[in-house]
Structure 1
Amino acid sequence: MLQRFSFTLLRPLLTLIAVLAAIVVLWQLYHYYTYAPQTRDGKISADVVPLATDVSGRVDEVYIHDNQVVRKGQLLLSLDKVRLRNALAQAEATVEQASVQLSSSRRENQRYQTLQSAISQQERDNHHDAQLLAKANLDQALADRELARINLQRADLFAPVDGVITNFSLRPGAYASAGQPVMALVDSHSFYIAGYFEETKLGHIQNGDQVIIRIMGENQPLYGHVDGLSAGINDSERTTAAGNLLANVNPTFSWIRLAQRIPVRIAIDKVPDGVQLIAGRTATVSLENENAGAKAIIPSSFTHLP
């Protein structure tokens, strides 16, 4: 009789304990996903250098291919240099001509300056000015020759940083215009994580906070730290009407106000072997600090969601 009474009393007690535990777990889950500094809206980002030639011309040689790893200073391509060499030869000839004219003007000026009693002051001034003009013409010719040399040197395109050539299909014979990018170089030393955190969680994020990063498709986590928060985001609901300097704000009638997402820059401190950093890959970012105490009871299956 006593055993049956104990069992009858124990069953609702266990049920109550289970219900309370479930309530605590659900509350902690709600608190974690609402206020804890974590986001599944993260991306691997990197600086992309658009490479362009300084001069225009036909592509003569291409020394790299798509997705190739290159080093700083490596030769990537060369333009046809026939016209550029010809321009340099013309500039050198112009320098020689201007040098001869300057020597002639200098002799004439010296001769006329000694004949002070035989000629007028105006004639002496004219020959003095002619010497100065010849000197200026020589300086211009020297500058043009230096520019021709620079153009000849810039017909070769070198990698400015270490990186990977991507989305590249340029072949010999194509025409490259000065200043128009012909390839993209992803800087290997510029990778970082762009985490988009809800504004309700920004109060728990400080510069230097340690971060765990999980890349979709990778089993090993990355480690980093908060490097800074964005100073502003675009207000898509505010525009300026044509001819009116006042702000045109669209009225909002939605009952639920969703939290804005603010970009947070995450510096990568450690990358495990075998993990590929590719700009655009999806990442989950979780901050490991004292403000995220709810993490202690969150099952790993929740924190590893892609």
Structure 2
Amino acid sequence: MPNKKIKSLLSAIIIALAIFSLYSVWQYYFYSPWTRDARIRAKIITIAPDVSGFVTKVYVKDIQKVKKGDLIFSIDDERYVADFKEKEAIVDHATLELKLAQQKYNRRKKLGKSGSISREELDDYLMAVKLKKAAVEKAKADFLTAEINLRRTRVYAPISGMINNISLRQGNFVTVAKPVMSIVKKNSFYVTGYFEETKLPNIKIGKQAEIQLMSGGEPLYGHVISIGKAIADNNTDVNSQLLPKIQQTFDWVRLSKRIPVDISLEVIPKDINLVSGINATVKIQ
């Protein structure tokens, strides 16, 4: 009889431990702040010319380190030099015309004091001076634009970093605002983890994080710097008749949304080659 009681007690203990273990695993899986859906990211700047033309020379190559202000490539400046000289000549011409108009007005003004010229005619000469002044200002603005365009035929690195995915070649024709390469900003790597909404209560700004790259190696460490405040809602889409497109759901299945959480990296070992876009696992302490 005692043996049966002991066996029953042991069975109850084992069942209780099993239930507790399952409950702990359930709690950890659903509420512990960790995710395997994370990416290494970096600040990437796209480089696009501000003027159009044929590329005369490319001064960098793919995966090359550059410093802010380094010359990247140059564009044929023949037309821009000609336009610059033309606008410069227009400024000189407009300035001379203004000077001539001012002289004519000054002479008529003296005559006006003696009554040799009507007030209406004097006003016409004054208006001519004002028009010539406006013409000079416009000519100077056009000259400044031509000067800027000429300078922009030489494209410089806006930041320090690494040239990425360049396919630009000498002789290519580039157009305004169309990107031709990108630069990965120096020391700008960080991690974005996509956490289920059920885990957000345990994620706070400043909390420590452990990052394990999918490629293996020693873990990286950092801390939470931002938590996403908005995500897309598919139910806000509309069809061609502007009617709402409500997604079909099953009441017994509710998939939790994922929220982006950004994590800054503290120290990156020199032997780790980080690449923007690779996978990682993140655990928030």
* TM-score, length of structure 2 as denominator length: 0.90
Q: Do structure 1's residue 261 and structure 2's residue 247 form an aligned pair?
A: no
Instruction: Give the structure 2 partner of residue 68 of structure 1.
Output: 64
Instruction: Give the structure 2 partner of residue 214 of structure 1.
Output: 212
Q: Do structure 1's residue 42 and structure 2's residue 38 form an aligned pair?
A: yes
Q: Give 5+ residue unaligned stretches, structure 1.
A: 1-5, 289-306
**Residues 84-123 of structure 1 correspond to what in structure 2 (within 5 A)?**
84-116=80-112, 117-123=115-121
Question: What are the superposed Cα offsets for residues 144-188 of structure 1, whole Å, 9 maximum, x if unpaired?
Answer: 111111111111111111222211111011111111111112222
Q: What CA distance in whole angstroms lies between the structure 2 residues aligned with 1:58 and 1:243?
A: 46
Instruction: Give the structure 2 partner of residue 128 of structure 1.
Output: 126
Moved more, 89-98 or 29-38: 29-38
Q: What CA distance in whole angstroms lies between the structure 2 residues aligned with 1:73 and 1:15?
A: 74
Question: What are the superposed Cα offsets for residues 3-47 of structure 1, whole Å, 9 maximum, x if unpaired?
Answer: xxx9xxx99999998877666555433322221110111001122
Alpha-carbon deviation of 1:281?
A: 0.7
Q: What CA distance in whole angstroms lies between the structure 1 residues aligned with 2:13 and 2:206?
A: 40
Residue of structure 1 aligned with 2:280, choices 279, 283, 288: 283
Instruction: Give the structure 2 partner of residue 156 of structure 1.
Output: 154
Q: Do structure 1's residue 167 and structure 2's residue 180 form an aligned pair?
A: no
* TM-score, length of structure 1 as denominator length: 0.84
Residues 221 and 272 of structure 1 are in contact (CA less than 8 Å); yes or no, is this contact kept in structure 2?
Answer: no
Residue of structure 2 aligned with 1:223, choices 207, 221, 226: 221
Residue of structure 2 aligned with 1:82, choices 78, 85, 96: 78
Number of equivalences:
282
Alpha-carbon deviation of 1:286?
A: 0.4
Residues 66 and 168 of structure 1 are in contact (CA less than 8 Å); yes or no, is this contact kept in structure 2?
Answer: yes
Partner SS state of residue 49, structure 2: coil
Corresponding letter in the other structure for 1:255: W
Instruction: Give the structure 1 partner of residue 177 of structure 2.
Output: 179
How many percent of aligned residue pairs carry the same amino acid?
39
Q: Do structure 1's residue 274 and structure 2's residue 271 form an aligned pair?
A: yes
Residues 220 and 268 of structure 2 are in contact (CA less than 8 Å); yes or no, is this contact kept in structure 1?
Answer: yes
Q: What CA distance in whole angstroms lies between the structure 2 residues aligned with 1:176 and 1:236?
A: 38
